[in-house]
Amino acid sequence: MNPITIHEEMIIRQIKTETELKNKDNISRTNAYFTYFKKNSDILWSFLASMVSRNGGWNMCDLEGSTFRQLLSPQIRKQLFLTYERANWLIFHDVFPQLLLYQYSTKSGRPLFHLLPYFEVSSFIQKEWIRYWKEKDQNRLTTALIINEQNVIQTPVIEHPIYQKKVFHSFLFNFQDWLHFSCVLFPTCGGEVYGASVNGFRSLSKRINLGKRLASILFHPRLYPYFFEFAEKTPHTGSRSDYEQYFKLKTPGKTPILRLTFPIVEHHQRATVDWSKHRMVSPTWLYGPARHRHPIHLTDWYYNKAYQLQLLQSFHQTLQLKKWE
């Protein structure tokens, strides 16, 4: 790395401090992404990250909701929470310095991407930021950020032996994956829900494809204003009541709010490895179209899944009662 000025050293320190401050929990991350997007609306990925992060919070709080508390042991619920939390934390730790450095660049009127190596981000995404500064291709940068962040969590989370054993190869995770209970949802204040199912979560290519599909839904010219209105109007608490409050029909099951449910997790950053030096970037990741094989309007789907979960819970209670007979 080349020598830098005192002013640039100060920028690096400020970015690291702000990133650490806003990487406390799912609420602070979600809010940071959305606040950033409102200041830098050309960086489309930041709004996508905010809305996906909301889903991460809902998934965490679901674990302590009325349904999963009965279906899952405390140990399994804790492990699932820590998996969501670790992936969320790693992505924010990697990407938020990139976003802030772009913001500093726009304010100063000159690119500061030569400072990116000080944040140990991949050489792939360093080149993409330089390219974006020159070409201003918003869709290309959005796709590049999706590719980068999914690769960032692939080795330390998805392929980590503990997460593999306790989460990704567990009966529950595969059961959830098969039933599409895990779904990224984009609600509106009119009580409608759009989104896409997370199927085959362990597959890097499938997660990248999902990110591209979600971006195409979120920024659809007709739908985007409704999603933005929801994000602006609805404080993120982690509870599904954030969007179920707008529903025309009441759904069974309740989930708590995040900050009254989970503690702050102290994370430790291990040695960072540049994934792009060990893993080829598939042309399909960058250039493949976002294909929707299923409907994106999920309001009825959501109601059906809520009642399926309720049936599963009732079935579980029946089995428990039979044990005691």
pLDDT tens column, 184-243 = 999 999 999 999 987 777 789 999 999 999 999 999 999 999 999 999 999 999 999 999
| 109 domain-assigned | yes
Q: What percent of the chain has pLDDT over 70?
A: 89
| 245 domain-assigned | yes
| Domain span holding position 56 | 6-324
| 3-state SS class at 111 | coil
What pLDDT, in 10s, does the model give residues 132-160?
A: 999 999 999 999 999 999 999 998 888 76
Give me the phi and psi of 227, to 5 degrees please: -70, -40
| 1 domain-assigned | no
What pLDDT, in 10s, does the model give residues 51-89?
A: 999 999 999 999 999 888 887 889 888 988 998 999 999
Give strand ranges (E) for 160-301: 183-187, 193-197
Residue 305 predicted with pLDDT over 90: no
Helix, strand, coil shares of the chain, percent, nearest 5, are 65, 5, 30
pLDDT value of position 17? 98
Between 313 and 206, the more confident residue is 206
| 63 domain-assigned | yes
| 295 domain-assigned | yes
Mean pLDDT across the chain: 89
pLDDT value of position 162? 66
Q: If you average pLDDT over residues 264-269, what whole number do you get?
A: 91
Assessment of whether the complete model's pTM goes beyond 0.85: yes
| 27 domain-assigned | yes
Give strand ranges (E) for the chain: 183-187, 193-197
Cβ atoms within 10 Å, residue 67 = 19
**The pair of three-digit structure tokens given for residue 78, joined into one six-digit string:** 């804790």
| 60 domain-assigned | yes
Cβ within 8 Å of residue 3, ≥6 positions away: none
**Number of domains composing the chain:** 1
Q: How far apart are CA 195 and CA 210, in angstroms?
A: 10
| 89 domain-assigned | yes
Q: If you average pLDDT over residues 20-38, what whole number do you get?
A: 98
The closest of 88, 41, 11 to 258, measured between CA atoms, is 88
